[in-house]
Amino acid sequence: MSATRQKAITAGKKAIQKTKKTVFWILKIILPISFLVSFLQFWGVIDYLSTLLTPFFILIGLPGEAAIVFISSIFLPLYAPIAIIATLNLPLREITLLALMCLISHNLLVETAVQRKTGTSAAFIVVLRITASFLAAFILNHLLPAEMNSKIAVTTTVSSVTTVADVLLNWAKMALTISIKIIVIITALMFIQSFLKEFNWIDKLKKPFAPVMKFMGLSPDVSLLWIIAQIAGLTYGSALILEEMEGKSLQQREVNLLNYHIALNHSLLEDTFLFVAIGVPILWLIIPRLILAMIVVWTARQIDALKKRLPQTKQP
């Protein structure tokens, strides 16, 4: 048997072992949380939280009813807030502000739970993402041109949920769909990662991305993980982060910095284009998130450097 074939078989076996473990812990997080959120939505809890946030939305240039869009994005995937946007008849300017907020804070419960598994503080991630959402919208409200007040038509289908049976049925359909998606994507990612490692291609991948990573304040060692988070999303990126940490490939501090970045700036393809598809300009969705993520990471690095320079208090 050739050495190349042997390496391929070894990589495949490792990928299968990792896939089983990773799929299990992701589903263990996502399914219970999505079940709870389904009932929170049914009981009107999400609507109630939206009314509490109405005054804050008026301050950042959005109508009070826009709060329901943001709150829905925190608890649910982005299809839900887009469906609600379709019912509000908002101008493009306000939809752009909402889209940016939703892209930063969407699916917060699930994604924070996943990032927490990698060792990063869940409380910090929640505060970071929600604060960044409002800050980004506040700044963008002063930057967007006034002529963006034209209204755009958003069409979508909203299923009616009137009974507990409807809630359970919709959740079961979602659970089946997301489970299949997770199995397929995680399997593909684990095979890619295993083959890259087995054939020593990860180091080759790091070199062209090293300047980009350093510019953003990140370690070149997280290049592959950053790419995965941008293409496949935060959940799948975090799955690979956890696997790398178990292999002692990454230090916790570098993981934290990556998590700060991808918490604010991830899934540049699928999630972003959901809003581009309804007419939101793509640059207003990408550039603010990228800049915010870089500011947060570089600020964290400067705080670390300052702590190291401060004199350590000696124990008596």
| Model pLDDT for residues 112-152, shown as the tens digit of each residue | 998 998 899 999 999 999 999 999 999 999 999 877 766 66
Q: Which residue has the tokens 């190291």?
A: 308
Out of 199-203, 213-217, 228-232, 234-238, the most confident range is: 213-217
Contacts with 308 (C-beta within 8 Å, 6 or more apart), sequence order: none
State both tokens at 182.
């997770």
Neighbour count for residue 79 (Cβ, 10 Å): 14
What gap in Å lies between CA 125 and CA 131, rounded to an integer? 10
> Cα–Cα–Cα angle for 20, 25, 28, nearest 5°?
120
Do 209 and 258 form a contact (C-beta atoms < 8 A)?
Answer: no
- How far is Cα of residue 140 from the mean position of the Cα atoms in its chain? 20
Contacts with 34 (C-beta within 8 Å, 6 or more apart), sequence order: 110, 171, 174, 175, 178
Task: Note every long-range contact of 244-249, with CB atoms under 8 Å and residues 24 or more positions apart, other chains counting.
Answer: 245/118, 245/119, 249/221
Arithmetic mean of pLDDT, 70-74:
91
In the predicted structure, residue 4 carries a pLDDT above the cut 70: yes
pLDDT band for position 23 (50/70/90)?
confident
The neighbouring-strand residues paired with 91 are 151
| Model pLDDT for residues 237-253, shown as the tens digit of each residue | 777 787 777 766 788 99
Arithmetic mean of pLDDT, 89-94:
90
Kindly state the helix (H) or strand (E) to which residue 141 belongs, with its residue range: helix 122-143
So what's the pLDDT on residue 189? 82
What gap in Å lies between CA 224 and CA 165, rounded to an integer? 43
What gap in Å lies between CA 271 and CA 263, rounded to an integer? 13
Do 127 and 97 form a contact (C-beta atoms < 8 A)?
Answer: no
Tallying the residues shown for the chain, one arrives at 316
How far, in Å, are 31, 125, 190, 269, 271 from residue 276 at the CA level?
A: 29, 26, 30, 10, 9
Q: Which residue has the tokens 């060692």?
A: 221
State both tokens at 140.
């963008």
| Model pLDDT for residues 180-214, shown as the tens digit of each residue | 988 988 888 888 888 887 888 877 778 899 999 99
What gap in Å lies between CA 77 and CA 88, rounded to an integer? 19
Neighbour count for residue 119 (Cβ, 10 Å): 15
